[in-house]
């Protein structure tokens, strides 16, 4: 699919690794205008990492864009590490990164798991947020986790069958538990095939039309390990979210401007979740893209996200 509507490729003007504890070091980079509107990009997964294409959502003349890889993901080290890897840890990392870069407040941009983390961060630190641009909403509720594991077969039976049939027949009654057992096994010969099966499953269901490039990217070893291991870790622990989940804390951020962009045919994170968020947050601008699936790179979704960022630029310039 064409990506000509994104901003031109840009290289970071600064990057580094931030030691957030004795184990984890998170990769970060800044690109665009050092004097521009600060915006932080929160990638999906958890565990997928940021890419050079993600920089292109942000007008380099207007935005000071901060991209980083969450614990255990992308270029952060150690990849796939689960120790001290919870939502409160990720929220604390965001604050530490913001402080280290000398940013007072920033716009928070996140999709899929990135929307989960954006809401968790915003509810913990509303005073540090200018606003939100959210896409492909995931609230990590039990119904959403069950849909990912068992429900997507109604739309993608082939991919779901391959996902389930990776496991022996007598283990398919507990897909999450038995994948997780393999994914946390220290032996690469055990965890890597499971990681590729999990990640390829998600990639196969992420676009409205078939995308071999997306599937190939999800099957790459480092991406697959970080994504599969961390997703299973967060799912089996309910996202490490407080009682009442993220909808229960919306009042803390309802005063902040927000745009919610949702693909109508998003199978990974169905529109019912974005609808629930929009009903709890009526002040937010809610847009359903009529011809899009889950990926941020769907043409209609890209255009809505770019337009949302342009409106935020005019608001905060």
Active-site residue (options: 76, 112, 115, 204): 112
Percent of the chain as helix, strand, coil, to the nearest 5: 45, 15, 40
Is 50 noted as a catalytic residue in this protein?
A: no
Is 266 noted as a catalytic residue in this protein?
A: yes
Q: Is residue 111 helix, strand or coil? A: strand
Is 43 noted as a catalytic residue in this protein?
A: no
Active-site residue (options: 59, 69, 93, 266): 266
Q: What distance in Å separates the CA atoms of residue 144 and residue 14, rounded to the nearest whole number?
A: 37
Strands 63-68 vs 14-19: parallel, antiparallel or unpaired: unpaired
DSSP for residue 151: I
- Distant-in-sequence, close-in-space partners of 70: CB < 8 Å, separation ≥ 6: 26, 42, 43, 45, 46, 47, 49, 76, 90, 93, 117
- Distant-in-sequence, close-in-space partners of 242: CB < 8 Å, separation ≥ 6: 248, 249
In sequence order, the β-bridge partners of residue 290 are none
Catalytic residues: 112, 266, 294
């Amino acid at each position: 699919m064409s990506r000509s509507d994104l901003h031109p490729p840009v290289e970071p003007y600064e990057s580094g690794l931030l030691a957030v504890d004795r184990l984890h070091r998170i990769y970060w980079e800044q690109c665009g205008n050092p004097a521009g509107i600060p915006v932080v990009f929160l990638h999906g997964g958890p565990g997928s990492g940021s890419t050079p294409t993600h920089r292109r959502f942000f007008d380099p003349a207007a935005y000071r864009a901060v991209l980083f890889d969450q614990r255990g993901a992308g270029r952060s080290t150690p990849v796939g590490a689960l120790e001290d890897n919870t939502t409160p840890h990720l929220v604390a990392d965001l604050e530490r990164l913001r402080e280290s870069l000398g940013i007072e407040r920033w716009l928070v941009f996140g999709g899929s798991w990135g929307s989960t983390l954006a809401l968790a961060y915003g509810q913990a630190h509303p005073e540090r947020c200018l606003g939100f641009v959210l896409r492909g909403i995931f609230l990590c509720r039990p119904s959403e986790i069950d849909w990912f594991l068992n429900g997507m077969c109604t739309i993608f039976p082939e991919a779901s069958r391959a996902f389930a049939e990776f496991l022996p027949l007598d283990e398919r009654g507990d897909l999450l538990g038995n994948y997780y057992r393999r994914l946390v096994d220290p032996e690469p010969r055990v965890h890597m095939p499971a990681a590729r099966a999990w990640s390829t499953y998600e990639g196969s269901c992420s676009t409205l039309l078939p995308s071999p490039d997306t599937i190939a990217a999800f099957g790459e070893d480092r991406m697959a390990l970080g994504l599969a291991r961390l997703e299973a870790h967060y799912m089996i622990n309910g996202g490490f979210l407080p009682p009442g989940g993220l909808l229960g804390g919306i009042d803390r951020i309802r005063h902040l401007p927000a745009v919610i962009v949702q693909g109508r045919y998003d199978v990974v994170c169905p529109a019912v979740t974005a609808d629930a968020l929009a009903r709890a947050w009526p002040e937010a601008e809610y847009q359903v893209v009529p011809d899009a699936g889950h990926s941020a790179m769907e043409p209609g979704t890209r255009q809505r996200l770019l337009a949302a960022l342009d409106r935020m630029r005019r608001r905060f310039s």
